[in-house]
Structure 1
Amino acid sequence: ASFGVVESARVAVTARLAESASQEQSEVVSMLLREFEEGQADWLWQVDIRRRLKAVSPRFAFALGKEPAETEGQSFLQLISGDGWESGQFPPSLHELAEKLKRKENFSNLSVKVSIDGEDRWWELSGTPIVDELGNYQGFRGVGSDVTEQRKSSEKIEYLARYDTLTQLPNRRMLNEALGDALQYAAKWRSRCAFLMIDLDRFKAVNDSLGHLVGDQMLAEVAARLRGLIQEGEICGRLGGDEFAVVIRDASHKGRIELLARAIIERLSEPYEIENHVLYVGASVGSAMGPRDGSTVEELLRNSDLALYRAKDEGGGTHREYEPALHANAEEKRQLEHALRHALERDEFLLHFQPVVNAKTEDIVSFEALARWNSAEHGFVSPGKFIPLAEDTRLIVPIGTWVLQEACREAAENWPEHVKVNVNVSPEQLLEPDFAATVVRALSHSRLEPKRLEIEVTESIFMRDASVARKALEQCMALGCSVALDDFGTGYSSLGYLRKLKFSTIKIDRTFVQGAAQHSPESIAIIRAVIAMADSLDMTTTAEGVENEEEAAMIRGMGCTKIQGFHFGRPMPAQDVCGLFARRAMEQRLARA
């Protein structure tokens, strides 16, 4: 009987142990199957109550960089902490794993930074505590996988999403986030933050003339120079193109904004040595302060952009702070642009004509056609307002076409055959592929002789695409039209233009004429030099801005061919031009009588 009781107990214990082992094996298999089905697990790991490894599989040993026998019974945390075990300096993720094991908590997909053979790697671990049938804690078991490569890919994607690949500076997204944080900081501590928007001056000319490779190298150099100017609590980045920005987290010292803006302009204006070229660009800066100039990221971006536009509009190379008046100006510009887009279809444009006379005889040789805009909403709008707006929006192309057609028609129908018409053409028009065809249509529809049309261009056309502009003008000259170079000496003057293109007339800007009238030696010398050069190249000269008889006599004495200015007539409507011709004809008949 005793033997039977002992044997029955032995069988029961054996069955119970087998059942427990089976259950444990089942749990392990279930865990592995679940993890493998989800594509997450590479190996199984298990530790005892002292966090020492047990039942180490070959795959797990390989992940540890050791043989299975070397790892059995070793401290799990010591093996994966590397040199940090001696120094006590552990990554935060390893601290978190240790706490989970200490508190006997389940965890899933825990990212842990480990050190294997001196190399940092990332593991993703899942684990659950092991308890026996009596509820006693027996250790931990779980699964894991090496996710180092996935982690690097994610970090690279995150980096690309927040940093500019060319300059390695924060991109627009990260700048916006930094500005948002700065605004929150300013609101919390009742301080001020600032946003500086930076735009390179003359960078497009470098890009167009030397190519994007040189331009990209210059942008990288600009980024390096900006980094050297930034202090703690400031972040600089690239918004895109040739636009950069700086976020100042704490702008309590207002002088820092002006100091930094001035330093940026000076540093970025220094020469650049790239690909055996010594290049020069400048910089303009617009700034806005939060929350004074805006309590949101969008408002500060908009207002700093308005300030930058003002700096560029004033010639560049300067810093301007946002002022409320800038917003009013921007709104006015927006309304003007809206009205300008409908001005042609509403027939709101008209032409005025200013006479150009022979310097010796004072006979009228031509009229310059000048566009005027009588808006139904805004009344008469100054050309100084709507012409730059039309150029910025490329509306100058259809407007310029209309001016050309109307000027040719008026000259052909109502003027004497010896009088020319001068029409200003913008660079945007010249870059149109069918500009010469536009001239042909204007001449054929009006029946104006090509020799009576003189096209006026400024030196700025050669800063865009010189070859396209030159080809367009040569096609017009082949038709029989003449070409005048306007505002000579005020822009990017180069004698190379005069050598490459046969201009018929060089127009001397009014600033030199007014300077000569005030006895400026420099202005007088420039006028004499231009006249002498034009004579040697068989070109005529026209002096602009002559306002009285004394100035006319002075210009005439210098040998200028033609004169234009208020002294001989202000810009006038077409009917007044016809009246002027009638009076001149009457005066000539009386003189002959």
Structure 2
Amino acid sequence: QVMHDPLTGLPNRLYMRDRIERALARFHRHPDRPFALLYLDIDRFKIVNDSLGHLAGDELLKEVSQRLLRSVRHPDSVARLSGDEFAVLLEEVSQRSTASQVAQRILDALQEPMILQGRELRVFTSIGIAISEPRHQSTDALLQDADTALYSAKSAGRGRYVEFDDSMQRAERDVLGIEHQLRAALQAGQFEPYFQPLVRLADRSCIGYEALVRWNHPTRGVLEPSQFLPVAEECGLVDAIDWQIYHAACASGVELTREGGYITINVSPRHFQGNDLDSRLLGLAATAKLDPSRLRIEVTEGTLLGDPEAVTKQLQKLASASIATALDDFGTGYCSLGYVHRFPLRMLKIDRSFIEPLGGRDTRRSEAVIGAVLALASSLDIEVLAEGIETEAQHAALLAMGCGYGQGFLYGRPQPAAYWHKACAIAA
């Protein structure tokens, strides 16, 4: 029992380290027979624990364990390292693609719906892959590479696998340098909101803009969030960047909404931990002379489920101050359709993963999800916007289904406020 996890029955970290040490010893004797380590954890696992309770979290871990066992080959090992972290040792990989194939099999298996406490959940995981190389002289070295790849997978958007390569090693060395640059960028005000239009599908008129963070780096040009936010998160600088963006967005929003419409800003769960979100946002709007009704916030399902009662109170305070709320990336988390009515929401934004298949060959599942969301929203008098629209076929399909609003490259890429001042007038 010393080598096994009492909850899942899987081998534990001690067992896995022993297996890796043995595999490394064999590999150094036979370098033509590499092996692979997959390091994975469950995306947003804390949300399940916080919203459904630890018993539900335990049931989820047990089900994940069984699905992992069914996804690997007979000689391979699966272990629970800690919390929601698991490792899979692939004893021999004759081709590098073998590890990727197993990783994809795991992703597919875990995304199949599971029932917890009467609710249907889809579980997403991120996976880091490290394949044995002569430079791996210790178990820790291999685990570190797999962990680095896992971090890269999460930074790339979660729900995917990434194989370690040398560029990640260089990137690790760059982190301290980037942290210094981030602090300097905050002092210099180099973070700027870029605005992407939100349109009415019926006539493609612009009804608002979403503010998205960009870094005007002095030597590397305009950087997107994926290029710096993971490091900012590690360094505890995200809050400061957020508020710099909120301030600039409100200032730009005065001109952008002069003829009507609104701007939206993305508010992360951490900003709901205090009780002053409404007063801070109202303060920014007042300073910028922006009508609060021209400002909206976007939150994720994770925000709603973290502490539902506290979040509801804050959203109600914002609504009473004329600041409406949209639920972003709807359909990708743990928030069921039946849960939405508990919160004071103005809009649901359907995640792009459901929009992408439209116009293709197999659209039934996406159409079913979108249809259910539209029906629910109609009954609750909530607006619906489809994210990630890139083709005319997607636009036509959504319009035919009765979706009111859309956003995506088809209508415009994120641009500085000055671009939209010249390019487009907001429809009232």
Q: Which TM-score tier does this pair reach, normalised by the shorter chain?
A: 0.7 to 0.9
Distance change (3 Å), C-alpha of 1:495 and 1:287: closer
Distance 1:511 1:322 in 2: 26
Q: Which amino acid aligns with 1:459?
A: E
Distance change (3 Å), C-alpha of 1:347 and 1:461: same
Question: Structure 1 residue 199 and structure 2 residue 40: aligned?
Answer: yes
Distance change (3 Å), C-alpha of 1:224 and 1:382: closer
The 3-state SS of whatever aligns with 1:454 is strand
The 3-state SS of whatever aligns with 1:353 is strand
Deviations 1:556-580 (A, max 9, x none): 5654444444555443322233335
Aligned equivalent of 2:348:
506
Distance change (3 Å), C-alpha of 1:479 and 1:329: same
Unaligned runs of 5+ in 2: none
Q: Do the aligned residues in 1 keep the contact of 2:214 with 2:225 (CA within 8 Å)?
A: yes
Distance change (3 Å), C-alpha of 1:349 and 1:314: closer
Q: Report the TM-score, using the length of structure 1 for normalisation.
A: 0.55
Q: State which drifts further: 188-197 or 289-298.
A: 188-197
Query: How far is 1:310 from its partner?
Result: 5.4
Aligned equivalent of 1:424:
266
Question: Structure 1 residue 473 and structure 2 residue 321: aligned?
Answer: no
Equivalent residues in 2 for 1:313-352 (5 A)? Answer: 322-328=164-170, 330=172, 336=178, 339-352=181-194
Between the two structures, name the one with larger relative contact order (CA 8 Å, sep ≥ 6).
Answer: 2
Q: Do the aligned residues in 1 keep the contact of 2:257 with 2:263 (CA within 8 Å)?
A: no
Deviations 1:337-358 (A, max 9, x none): 5533543223211122233344
Q: Which amino acid aligns with 1:407?
A: A
The 3-state SS of whatever aligns with 1:418 is coil
Distance 1:511 1:271 in 2: 16
Q: State which drifts further: 234-243 or 296-305.
A: 234-243
The 3-state SS of whatever aligns with 1:354 is strand
Q: Which amino acid aligns with 1:436?
A: D
Q: Do the aligned residues in 1 keep the contact of 2:4 with 2:11 (CA within 8 Å)?
A: yes
Question: Structure 1 residue 534 and structure 2 residue 377: aligned?
Answer: yes
Distance 2:160 2:399 in 1: 40
Distance 1:445 1:453 in 2: 13
1:494 pairs with 326, 333, 336, which one? Answer: 336
Q: Do the aligned residues in 1 keep the contact of 2:38 with 2:87 (CA within 8 Å)?
A: yes
Aligned equivalent of 1:398:
240
Distance 2:251 2:160 in 1: 45
Distance change (3 Å), C-alpha of 1:374 and 1:231: same
Equivalent residues in 2 for 1:131-142 (5 A)? Answer: none
Deviations 1:41-92 (A, max 9, x none): xxxxxxxxxxxxxxxxxxxxxxxxxxxxxxxxxxxxxxxxxxxxxxxxxxxx
Distance 1:264 1:511 in 2: 19
Distance change (3 Å), C-alpha of 1:207 and 1:565: closer
Query: How far is 1:500 from its partner?
Result: 0.8
The 3-state SS of whatever aligns with 1:352 is strand
Distance 1:326 1:167 in 2: 32
Query: How far is 1:372 from its partner?
Result: 1.6
Q: Do the aligned residues in 1 keep the contact of 2:31 with 2:134 (CA within 8 Å)?
A: no
Question: Structure 1 residue 374 and structure 2 residue 216: aligned?
Answer: yes
Identity within the alignment, %: 35
Aligned equivalent of 1:383:
225
Q: Which amino acid aligns with 2:385?
A: T
Query: How far is 1:289 from its partner?
Result: 4.6
Q: Which amino acid aligns with 2:141?
A: E
Equivalent residues in 2 for 1:167-246 (5 A)? Answer: 179=20, 183=24, 187=28, 194=35, 196-202=37-43, 203-212=45-54, 215=57, 239-245=81-87
2:145 pairs with 300, 303, 319, which one? Answer: 303
Q: State which drifts further: 475-484 or 180-189.
A: 180-189
Query: How far is 1:424 from its partner?
Result: 2.0
Q: Which amino acid aligns with 1:496?
A: G
Aligned equivalent of 1:575:
418
Q: Do the aligned residues in 2 keep the contact of 1:528 with 1:558 (CA within 8 Å)?
A: yes
Deviations 1:435-484 (A, max 9, x none): 33332322232232221111122334335443443333222112221112
Query: How far is 1:218 from its partner?
Result: 7.0
Distance change (3 Å), C-alpha of 1:164 and 1:339: farther
1:353 pairs with 174, 192, 195, which one? Answer: 195
Q: Do the aligned residues in 2 keep the contact of 1:542 with 1:563 (CA within 8 Å)?
A: yes
Question: Structure 1 residue 455 and structure 2 residue 297: aligned?
Answer: yes
Distance 1:174 1:352 in 2: 49
Distance 1:512 1:283 in 2: 18
Deviations 1:122-156 (A, max 9, x none): xxxxxxxxxxxxxxxxxxxxxxxxxxxxxxxxxxx
Q: State which drifts further: 216-225 or 515-524.
A: 216-225
Unaligned runs of 5+ in 1: 1-158, 586-593
